[in-house]
Amino acid sequence: MADPLFRTPKGTHDVLPEDHVYMTFIKKAVRHRARQAGYKRIDTPMFEYRGIFERGIGAHTDIVEKELFVVGSPHAEKADQDFALRPEFTAGICRSYIEHAMDQLPQPVELYAIGQCFRHDRPQKGRYRQFHQFDFEIIGLKDPSLDAQMIHVLSNILADLKILDRLTLQINNIGVAENRKAFAEALKEYFIGKERHLPELDRKRLQTSPLRLLDSKEEDTRILLKNAPTLAQFVGDDSKLYHATVLEYLQELGVPFVENAGLVRGLDYYTQTVFEYWDRSEGAQNAVGGGGRYDALIELLGGKPTPGVGFACGMERIVWHMKEAGIQAPNKDQVDIFVAQLGPEAKKQCLRLIATLRDRGVHTLGALGEASLKSQMRLADRFDVKYCLLLGKMEVLKNTVILRDMKAGKQKEMPFDEALPAVVELIGKKNLDRYVLKDGFGAVDED
């Protein structure tokens, strides 16, 4: 049993090579759809002044109140706790928009980010303390077509990853701040005299963030809410029209949705449009992604009033869905050929051959140790390679090499110089083009 101190901390996990195959594929789909629609990649720091999250996401949200990873230097004169690991991207991206005067660029500015986020949540299935998000934001222009187009990009990504049919798009419009303020007051009034029937957490929420009551899981709260005023009664006509237009555009784009008047989201910055992709079978608990409009956020962070809309998806949850659906992510890590050798001279020749094969784009393993040819063959089998090149003492003398087809169990001897063209022929030109760097671009995966 390993020392518990030397294991991954609670709520974190290693992304092992078999999962990287999925992560890489997801990133590829994200980059592909982002480029098609003109989004540019941005990276913000993993930690920011914590005030950005407190102000942006909301001091009374779970994310800030309970889940913020506060960090700072214990070496500073007075231990400073000014920073927090990012629990999401939106607040940091908006900070960056202001800091770099992106309002001077053609609007809207479309940005996307991929990376780790941190929330000190209670770990459970699909809920981690360190996880990956991909995130899209459109800042600086407001139009219902932008909301609809962005959701369409998201649905295309989920379709590319072959999990769209497992999910439903839930969508709502929560109105503007004044609407929610009026609703919150009405809700508080409704609960006068009924507070004692509310579970403690919801009683507190009624005071700090009444909207959160709407997605409370507590049975007592849900019963009491049946006769309570609804948010929809307070949403203004402008927002209703905006919502109807977003839905119309979604229909135009062929994106199915479910209107959900109870959807409010857990971050305070939202205005009007909010949406989530839910697991068809499980309900809200494990949304794969979600987002919405945040027209007041940039001003809240010190910028001039600037509209924005965005979403983020949890990549671990997507990987889970892909595995559940039996989807294999295409894998470029397959080793094509194993070069087995025996004797010092053969080993030297093989080193050169292996290097040349690799340069030509053939994934090649070999010249690893001093084991017998037989045990090298066994190793090649375990690496699941299709072909082997064998170079023993005899072959060195004859200047030949043996090419073995591992699946067919057949082999043939050929002059050493013919090995390279023969292998290139076998692996296929199309495969090889994927791997060879062209002017430094195109062939390798960006992170």
Q: Which stretch in 126-134, 210-218, 224-232, 392-400 sits in contact with ligand HAM by CB under 6 A?
A: 126-134
**Cα dist. 385→75, 328, 389 in Å?**
52, 19, 11
Q: Is 196 in a helix, a strand, or coil?
A: helix
Q: Which stretch in 154-162, 177-185, 289-297, 319-327 sits in contact with ligand HAM by CB under 6 A?
A: 289-297
Q: Report the nearest approach of ligand HAM to the CB of residue 239 (Å).
A: 17
Q: Report the nearest approach of ligand HAM to the CB of residue 309 (Å).
A: 7
Q: Report the nearest approach of ligand HAM to the CB of residue 68 (Å).
A: 12
SS3 of 375-397: the string is HHHHHHHHCCCCEEEEECHHHHH
Q: Does 313 contact ligand HAM by CB under 6 A?
A: yes
> In the complex with ligand HAM, which residue's Cβ is closer, 264 or 388?
264
Q: Supply 160's token pair.
A: 């590319």
- Of positions 48, 54, 110, 137, contacts ligand HAM by CB under 6 A: 137
CA–CA dist 60, 64 (Å, integer): 7
> In the complex with ligand HAM, which residue's Cβ is closer, 140 or 290?
290
- Of positions 24, 44, 96, 133, contacts ligand HAM by CB under 6 A: 133
- Of positions 140, 289, 307, 361, contacts ligand HAM by CB under 6 A: 289
Q: Which stretch in 82-90, 354-362, 375-383, 432-440 sits in contact with ligand HAM by CB under 6 A?
A: 82-90
> In the complex with ligand HAM, which residue's Cβ is closer, 284 or 443?
284
Q: Which residues 6+ apart lie within 8 Å of 221 measured at CB? A: 198, 199, 202, 213
Residues within window 14-53 making contact with ligand HAM, judged by CB under 6 A: none
Q: Report the nearest approach of ligand HAM to the CB of residue 175 (Å).
A: 17
Q: Does 317 contact ligand HAM by CB under 6 A?
A: yes
Strands 47-49 and 83-85: antiparallel
- Of positions 48, 54, 62, 88, contacts ligand HAM by CB under 6 A: 88
Q: Which residues 6+ apart lie within 8 Å of 179 measured at CB? A: 231, 234, 235, 236, 239
Q: Report the nearest approach of ligand HAM to the CB of residue 93 (Å).
A: 8
Long-range Cβ contact pairs of 186-193 (< 8 A, separation 24 or more): 186/229, 186/234, 187/213, 187/228, 187/229, 190/227, 190/228, 190/229, 191/224, 191/228
Q: What sign for the dihedral angle of Cα 249, 255, 261, 264?
A: negative
Convert residues 239-278 into a mask of x (bound to ligand HAM by CB under 6 A) and - (unbound).
---------------------------xx-----------
Q: Supply 365's token pair.
A: 């393993």
CA–CA dist 439, 31 (Å, integer): 20
- Interface size with ligand HAM, residues (CB under 6 A): 28
Q: Report the nearest approach of ligand HAM to the CB of residue 120 (Å).
A: 9
- Of positions 312, 322, 380, 385, contacts ligand HAM by CB under 6 A: 312
CA–CA dist 365, 115 (Å, integer): 31
CA–CA dist 338, 172 (Å, integer): 56
- Of positions 108, 144, 290, 366, contacts ligand HAM by CB under 6 A: 290
Q: Does 172 contact ligand HAM by CB under 6 A?
A: no
Burial environment of residue 332 by CB neighbours within 10 A (0 to 12, 13 to 18, 19 or more): middle
Q: Does 140 contact ligand HAM by CB under 6 A?
A: no
The residues binding ligand HAM (CB under 6 A) are: 88-90, 119, 121, 126-128, 131, 133, 135, 137, 266-267, 287-292, 294, 310-314, 316-317
